[in-house]
Chain A
Amino acid sequence: MDQVRRWAPAAWALALAVLLLGPALAPGYLLTYDMVWVPDLALRGDFLGLGTALPRAVPSDAVVAVLDQVVPGMLLQKVVLLGGLVLGGIGAARLAGPSLLARLVATSVYVWSPFVVERLWIGHWPVLLCWAVLPWVVLEGVRFRDQGRLGAALPFLLLAGSLSVNAGLMTAAAVLAVGLTRRGAARLVTAVVAANAPWLVAGLLHAGDATSSAAGSVFGLHGDGLPAPLAALTLGGIWNADVVPGSRDVIVLPLVYAVALVAAAVAGARPLWRRLGRRTTGALIALWVAGYAVALLSWAAPDALGAVAEHVPGGGVLRDGTRFLALCAPLTAALVAAGAVRLAEALAGVPLRVVAGVGAALLPLALMPDAGWGISGELRTASYPGDYAAARATLADDRPGGDLLVLPFSSYRAPAWNHGRPVLDPLPRYLQPDYVVDDRLSVDGRLLAGEDPRGPEVLAALALPDPEARAAALGRIGIGLVARETDTPQGTTGETPVAGTPVYTGDDLEVIAIDTPVRDRGVSAGWWIALALAWGSYLGVLAVGGWNVFQFGSATIHRKSGSG
C-alpha cells in the first residue's frame, strides 16, 4: 500500500499530462500563438536583452538556445511541456499532504484546470513552468524557513520559475511569502533577485520604451461562460476567446465546477489550516488574494490598468491579469483536496469513500472533457517547410551583416502547414541573426501599438517610393537581410519590393541581402556590463544549485557507506 501511496500520484499526474497533451507529443513542433520552438535556436544578443524591443522573452529564449545545444529543440519542447505538467501535478500532490485521496484530487484539480488548458493553448510555456514549480516553491520555502539553507532544489526551482517577467514575479512572491524570515532574508532575497536579474536588468535598460498601449486593457479577465469573478474562481477567464475550450463556453459545466470547488474548499479550510500551520496557510491565502485581485482588477478596472501600462514603465506586466491566477492554484488544489478528504471521511465504510474519492478525482475531467487529447485535437504538431532549413543553411555558409527583417511586417502567421493555427512568426527564430519584428498586436481586427522604436522606423522605410531608397533606409537602421514569406496574406508591406541581392529563393520564401551600407547597431559598454553582471548572477544561482546537489550527493554516499 505504501508503494501505491507513493507512486499513484506521479502515475496519475503522468496520465493526466499525456491525456492533456495528446497529439502535441507526436513528432513535430507544437506552434501555437506565443509558443515558438525551432530545431536549433541560435543564441544571439537580443536574447540576452541587448535588442531594441522590450525583453519579453528574456531569459527564456537564451535558456532554450543553450539547452538545445544538448537536446534537440523538438525533444526539448516535449520534455518541457510533459515534464512541466507532471512536475506541477506531483508538486500539488505533495502539498496536499499524506492522504492518497487528497493527493489524487489535488493532482486532478491542479493539472486539469482551465488555467493550464488556456495557457497551453495560447503558448505561454514560461508561465506554465512557473505554475509547475509553485507548489514545490511553497514546500521548499517552508523548508528554508525551518532550516535557513537554500538546499539543492530551490535554486533550480527559482531559475525554472523565472523564465519571463510574470513568471519571475509570481515565483518570487511565492518563495518570499512562504520562506522569508529575519535570519534568512538576505540569502533568500539575494537568490530571488539573482534568478530574476536578466529580465530585471534588461527591463531597466529599456525603461524608456517600457510603456504599452492603453488599449492593452483588452487583455483583462473575461468570463468564459461564467460571470468573470466566478470564472476566475475556477482559474479560468483568459482574454482570448479563441483559446477557450467549448465546455467552458456554456454556463452549466463551469458553474457546477465553481460550486464544487467552493464547497470543497470551504470544507477543507480548517483541516488545511491545522496541517500547514498559520504561517504557510497565511502565505498561501495572501498569494491567492494577490492573484485573484490582479485578475479581477483587469476585469473591473481595465482602463485603469491600461493607463498604468501607458504611463508606468513595466506597468504592462499587469494587463493580462489572468496570468496571475497561477498564484491561486496551489491553495485551490490543497483546499479542495482537504475538503474531498473531509467529505469522504464523513461517509461510512471504505467502499463508499473509494467511490466518492474516485468521483472527486475525476470531476475536473468530467466538467472539462474536451480539454483531453490536446484540447480535442487542437494541439497538433507541425513540421517546418523545407524552405526554412534551406534558407538557414544558406545563411550559415555566408551571412551578411546586419539584422533580419521579415515581410510582410506583421507579428503573427496562420500558415496552412501549421493547420491554420495562429503563431508568432517562427521564421526569425529559425534563422540565425538578430531580427526586427512588428510588435504591434492585432486583437479583434484592431492593431494595438507596439513598443519597439525600430518598428515605426521600418514602416517609414518601407513607405519610401522606390526599392533602392527603402534598402538604404533599412540599412541605416541596421537591417542587412530581408526575408519575404509568400505563403501568407501579404498586405501592403508584403508586396513592397526592397532592392538587394537574392541569397535564397525557394517556393514560399526568399531572402535578399541589402547592398547599401548597413549601420552597425552598436550596444554601449554600459549595457554590456550591466547585462554581464545580470547573467553572471543568474549563472551564480545555477552554480549554487549545482554545488548544493554535489554536497547532497556526497553526504548521501557517506551516509550509505557509513551504515553499510
Chain B
Amino acid sequence: MQAFLIGIVSIVVGGGLAGATFVGLVNSQTAAPDKSPADVNAPAVDYGNTK
C-alpha cells in the first residue's frame, strides 16, 4: 500500500514539476517581444518601460 502511495505522490509531484517547467519554458519562448526594435534616431536610450 505504501509503495502504491509513493508511486502516486511521485507521479503527482514529478508531473506537476515537469508540467510547470514545460508551461514556463513554452510561455517564455513564445511570448511576443516585450519591446519594440530600437529606433536608431532616438536620442536617449530608455532606462525601462512600464508597459
Point out residues on A near B: beta carbons under 8 Å: 33, 122, 218, 222, 239-247, 249-250, 252-253, 256, 347-349, 351-352, 355-356, 358-359, 362-363, 365-370, 376, 408, 410-414, 420, 422, 440-445, 447, 488-494
Contact = CB atoms under 8 A, between A and B. Distances in A.
Contacts of A240: 47-50
Contact of A442 (B5, B29, B44, B50): B44
B44 A447 contact: yes
Contacts of A243: 48
A559 to B, nearest CB: 46
A100 B6 CA distance: 20
Contacts of B38: 414, 420
A154 B33 CA distance: 45
Contact of B45 (A241, A250, A348, A410): A410
Of B20, B21, B23, B47, most buried by chain A (CB within 10 Å of CB) is B47
Given A247-B28, A363-B17, A370-B24, A355 B47 contact: no
A368 B23 CA distance: 10
A98 B48 CA distance: 42
B27 A246 contact: yes
A489 B41 CA distance: 6
B43 A245 contact: no
B2 A444 contact: no
Contacts of B48: 33, 122, 239-243, 422, 443
A349 B2 contact: yes
A348 B46 CA distance: 55
B46 A249 contact: no
27 contacts: A241-B50, A241-B51, A242-B49, A243-B48, A245-B28, A256-B20, A348-B2, A351-B2, A359-B13, A359-B16, A359-B17, A362-B17, A366-B20, A370-B28, A408-B43, A412-B45, A440-B44, A442-B44, A442-B46, A443-B49, A443-B50, A444-B46, A444-B49, A445-B46, A489-B41, A491-B42, A491-B43
Interface string B1-41: 01001100110011011101101110111010011001111
Contacts of B41: 489
Contacts of B5: 348-349, 352
Contacts of A347: 9
Contacts of B50: 218, 222, 239-241, 443-444
Contact of B43 (A242, A244, A366, A489): A489
A369 B25 contact: yes
Contacts of B13: 355-356, 358-359
A492 B41 CA distance: 10
B47 A489 contact: no
B20 A410 contact: no
A450 to B, nearest CB: 12
B44 A490 contact: no
A411 B20 contact: no
A489 B44 CA distance: 8
Contact of B6 (A351, A366, A443): A351
Given A240-B50, A253-B20, A369 B28 contact: yes
Nearest to A447: B44
Considering residues B5, B13, B29, B42, which has the most beta carbons from chain A within 10 angstroms of its beta carbon?
B13
A412 B51 contact: no
Given A253-B23, A348-B2, A366-B24, A246 B31 contact: yes
A492 B31 contact: no
B28 A355 contact: no
B21 A369 contact: yes
A250 B30 CA distance: 11
